[in-house]
Amino acid sequence: MKTFDQLITFLPVLDLNTTVHFYQNILALPLVRDQGDCKIFRISSTGFIGFCSREEIPTPSKSIILTLVTNDVDDWCSTLINNGATVEKPPTYNPKYKIYHAFFLDPNGYRIEIQRFDDPLIAQ
């Protein structure tokens, strides 16, 4: 069976410097590729997110969610709150999906979910 080796999601941004500060300094994601007007950050061993500076971007849709999975939901939420991130929904338990999660907005208005699964997708 054929498989993919990595995942990179690219999102357009108006202010690349503010975006880099948020993802590199607040979320502590390592910058793994600097392409000038595009920056790629490592989220996990094979998962990446890239941001590219553009003069125009579509209004971020609330239906698109960047979910960061961690056992440390409360710690990450405190870090984001302490750094001025916009809280959309504080940490709560969702019994339907058996997850503990919170929602924030990044500097571009992209929705970020910090989430813990009761039944992780990958064994810890």
SS (H, E, C) 1-35: CCCCCCEEEEEEECCHHHHHHHHHHHCCCCEEEEC
Q: Mean pLDDT for the chain? A: 93
- CATH of span 59-124: 3.10.180.10
pLDDT at 82: 96
Mean pLDDT, to the nearest integer, of 4-31?
96
Other CB atoms within 10 A of residue 18 CB:
13
Q: How far is CA 112 from the centre of its chain?
A: 5
In the CATH hierarchy, which top-level class contains the domain 1-55? alpha beta
User: String of b and e for 38-49 (b: at least 16 CB within 10 Å)?
Assistant: bbbbbbeeeebb
Q: Which of 107, 53, 43 is nearest to 80 (CA)?
A: 107
pLDDT of 8 strictly over 90:
yes
Mean pLDDT, to the nearest integer, of 98-118?
95
124 pLDDT tier (thresholds 50, 70, 90): low
pLDDT of 123 strictly over 70:
no
Say what the pTM is. Answer: 0.89
Poorest-pLDDT segment among 2-16, 29-43, 52-66, 74-88: 52-66
pLDDT at 104: 96
Domain ranges of the chain: 1-55, 59-124
In this structure, what is the dihedral angle of CA atoms 14, 19, 21, 25, given to the nearest 10 degrees?
A: 180
Other CB atoms within 10 A of residue 26 CB:
17
pLDDT at 93: 98
Does 1-55 match 59-124 in CATH topology?
yes
